[in-house]
Amino acid sequence: MACDLSKVGERERLKPRREPYWNRLRGGCFVGFRPSARGGAGSWVARAYDEDSGSYRHKALGDFGDISGKDRFTAAKKDAEVFAEQVETGGVAEAKLETVGDACRVYAETSPDAEGRFKRYVYGDQLAKVRLDKLRKRHLIDWRARLEATPAQISRRKKGEKRIRERAPATINRDMAVLRAALTKVIAPGTPKTEAAWQEALRAIPNADRQRTLYLDRAQRRALLDLIELEAAPFVEALCLLPLRPGAIAALTVADFDTRTKELTIGKDKTGKLRRIQVPEKAAALLSAQSENKLPAAALFMRTNGKPWDKNSWKVPIGAAAKAADLPVGVTAYTLRHSTITDLVQAGLPLLTIAQISGTSAEMIERHYGHLASEAAVAALSQLAL
């Protein structure tokens, strides 16, 4: 897609994605821009061709948020040209990967979720200082024991009592998965059943994903919407209409929804891959209403303070409305996703289609919802028998 990054208007119309939008400055020298999924200033990247390695080198330049929007391209262009000159003259050395911490930092450049987990459980741990060529299974066994002993924080509020609970097996698996992925990028798995088999210490806990059994029928979801506070109503209604993860809906921008074709682009999600889905009329009307009088890069579902929703802000109104509506204990934003997926399964939609729409694997849908599909099929056959 050709675009002129020097124009503020063109940058604001760009849809958020992982791969930057590039402007060629000269042969082997590019400046790139990555729009923010949260309505921020976006970030700039330099790309320069290294003849010695026969590949491109990249450098993050920042967001240049301290200068005006019209001057950011000029500043980024200048830094990109300096970087290209350094690469061409051999003045830029490859980043050294010596320790576990180094491997994690490189991996985190492409994964914000991994960066957050590494900051909490790796960078400040003694494991981060272990050299990659000295890494042994015992190092990771000890780290895993420390991780499992670390309680999970339920409340992250600055004021008031901090609430914690025992770390769930599914959470432990997610924390280990990003570390395993980072290490796999730079070192090969060791020989099984030896001290060199570092990967064995990060083996996932089996059957850790608990099936979400709390289901709200349409009447219960309507009761929740009727009692939800006004600020949260559009966001919660979207959770009731679309089988998406709450975080994916919170990350949507105005540019992600095409009002003409009623197509929605989900960019930030657990899978990390862009996907487009067609939304039904009621959901399209909601998304269109949320798009009005907003810039393309603005959050589609915005709070009154101008910020997008997150797990710490949506759980309070959902919890209060669920209690007021006398709904079962334990209703969360994910309960609404589970309820919507359940409705789609019971309506007879193919499981593969549901998996594609909801952004999960067909295996996970089959595991958690396959029995419902079987029940729906039996009910349909019973009707035929009549």
Q: Is the pLDDT of residue 160 over 90?
A: no
> Which range (31-35, 206-210, 306-310) has the least confidence?
206-210
Q: Is the pLDDT of residue 112 over 90?
A: no
Q: What is the pLDDT, as a whole number, of residue 268?
A: 66
Residue 154: C-alpha distances to residues 46, 79, 117, 189 (Å): 39, 42, 16, 35
**Token reading at 71:** 């001057």
Handedness of CA 113, 117, 122, 123 (dihedral sign): positive
Quick: pLDDT tens for 245-290.
Answer: 898 999 999 999 999 999 999 876 665 567 888 998 999 999 999 9
Averaged pLDDT of the chain? 84
The Cα–Cα gap between 373 and 367 comes to 11
Quick: pLDDT tens for 60-81.
Answer: 887 887 788 888 999 999 999 9
Q: Are 45 and 34 in contact (CB under 8 A)?
A: yes
Domains annotated for the chain, with CATH where assigned, are 8-88 (3.30.160), 100-202 (no CATH), 218-385 (1.10.443.10)
Residue 28 φ/ψ region, left for φ over 0, alpha for ψ in the -120 to 50 degree band, beta for the rest: left
How much is the average pLDDT of 115-122? 90
Q: Which residues pair with 43 in a beta bridge?
A: 34
Rounded to two decimals, what is the model's pTM? 0.53
User: Binning pLDDT at 50, 70 and 90, where does residue 209 land?
Assistant: low
Q: What is the pLDDT, as a whole number, of residue 188?
A: 79
Q: Is the pLDDT of residue 29 over 60?
A: yes
How much is the average pLDDT of 23-45? 85
User: Binning pLDDT at 50, 70 and 90, where does residue 320 land?
Assistant: very high
Q: Is the pLDDT of residue 35 over 50?
A: yes
How much is the average pLDDT of 206-228? 82
